[in-house]
Structure 1
Amino acid sequence: MSEVLQRIYASAPTNDLPIHTLELQADSFGVIRLCNGFDNVNAGIESGETVLFEASGMGVSLPSRAVKGRQDLQFQLDNVSGEALEKVDAAKEAGDKIKVIYRVYTASDLTEPAEPPVEMTAVSVQATAMRVNVVASFNDLVNRAWPRDRYTPDVAPGLKYFS
């Protein structure tokens, strides 16, 4: 966690707050950028461009900093519009992977995120008329096979003669 965020979380100044943002990307709906709060926010992203994050009633549960295999980021969007439901349903029906990028900014510096962005893939999406619940996960590196490529008789035919 950056020094600025540590200071904000420790002292809770009234003039400088963390702004949590989510960027959802899928082939079926393009890019949706949301931030928590009542006001839209123009903020800089890693590519150097400034983009608009739309205000949303959003709750985010960050993954724990642990060494367990799978870590999930859970978030809920309340009072979603019919348009958002249509986009999520279209992505689910098309079988698109929804990429989720979580960024946190400080209200005093919107030129870049206060810490590196967290990129995940949505593994569970539940949508109702009132809210969208999404669970996003890192790649499960702890339980992944190493080496990734397995040498089987299909890949290396000479192996079928060894026993």
Structure 2
Amino acid sequence: MILSTLEFQHPALPGGVLRYVKDGIDLQAGIESGEVVTFIAGQFEFQLPDKNTTGQEALSVAAPNTDLTLTRAIEAAKRYEPITTVTCVYREYDTDDLSGPRNKAIRLTTSSAKITTMAVSITSSWKDLTNRRFCRRIYTTTTHPGLKYL
């Protein structure tokens, strides 16, 4: 049987990370670093990104808003300064081998979240390469003092 897991990483989250498994019981499994971690049991629905070349693909996650854990985490992340994006990691585990994920983990950046009284909907996608600036390095007088004299 294949178990799907989600991990949300952000400094404002309790312990910096929230981990969930789509199952009725908690899961202890290994991650890429070799560390064994606990995924909390939860019921959520998700739609994996398509594998095509049509543009920006997204992972959509919908979870019930029963214990308000995700709601509090999202609100804490929105208030966090400096502004840091929430990273979402999707992994699949085979119940026969929990020492590590069965495939490479999918790392996405959370782009939006919608909270209602009944559910939390989160959309994550790969980094937006289309709107990225050309020169990633910013030259300032602090990092390059010679610019003062130009």
TM-score tier after normalising by the smaller chain length: 0.7 to 0.9
Aligned to 2:57: 71
Q: Does 1:61 align with 2:47?
A: yes
Deviation at 1:112, TM superposition (A): 0.7
AA partner of residue 67 (structure 2): S
State TM-score, norm by structure 1. 0.75
Aligned to 1:109: 97
CA distance in 2, matches of 1:109, 1:35: 15
How do 1:6-155 residues align onto structure 2 when only pairs under 5 Å count? 17-29=1-13, 30-94=16-80, 95-141=83-129, 143=130, 148-149=134-135
SS in 2 for 1:134: strand
Gaps of at least 5 residues in structure 1 are 1-16, 155-163
Deviation at 1:87, TM superposition (A): 1.7
CA distance in 1, matches of 2:3, 2:89: 14
CA distance in 2, matches of 1:138, 1:109: 28
CA distance in 2, matches of 1:140, 1:79: 29
Deviations along 1:22-53, one digit per CA (max 9) or x if unpaired, are 00011111100001010100010000010000
CA distance in 2, matches of 1:133, 1:41: 23
Aligned pairs, number: 133
Deviation at 1:60, TM superposition (A): 1.1
Deviation at 1:144, TM superposition (A): 5.3
Sequence identity of aligned pairs in percent? Answer: 30
Deviation at 1:69, TM superposition (A): 2.3
CA distance in 2, matches of 1:85, 1:31: 14
State the Cα RMSD in Å: 2.0
C-alpha contact (below 8 Å) 2:111/2:124 kept by paired residues: yes
Larger radius of gyration, structure 1 or 2? 1
CA distance in 1, matches of 2:93, 2:71: 27
Gaps of at least 5 residues in structure 2 are 141-150
